[in-house]
Structure 1
Amino acid sequence: MANTAKGKVCVTGASGFIASWLVKRLLESGYHVLGTVRDPGNGKKVGHLWGLEGAKHRRIITLAQDGYEGQM
């Protein structure tokens, strides 16, 4: 499968209301999205991101915890 991604974008707070819409639009536009969230294991808060078209197959959303000193 050829890599057709336009580029890579990092969205902090990706599970938030506005950021979720941004992630959706970026995926639809062909970008590879790295999203940071507080608790990647909380399906209630991040499950909708994995349901976005392209999140699992064409593009990848990698979730990483934020909010911890020294993590990044």
Structure 2
Amino acid sequence: MSTATRPARPDATCPIRPGEPCTLCQLDVTGPQDCPLVYLVMGDDELREGVHRTRLAVVGSQRPPRRTGRDHRTR
């Protein structure tokens, strides 16, 4: 019997709700890999594109604003 601890697995994120964890909202599901909703959405080109646009918006809103130009502090 090993006493070493395994590193914690990261929580699965929901591909349908970007930025949110998988809450196992469907019965008999172990995660996004066997979720029927994920299967249906990812199998439809239009819905998949909508999820992609949402994901880009979420990621873009979480990034700090980019600096443009030079730093104008006095030296």
| TM-score normalised to structure 1 length | 0.27
Greater share of residues in helix: 2
| Larger RCO, structures 1/2 (Cα 8 Å, 6+ apart) | 1
Query: Bigger radius of gyration, 1 or 2?
Result: 2
More strand by share: 1
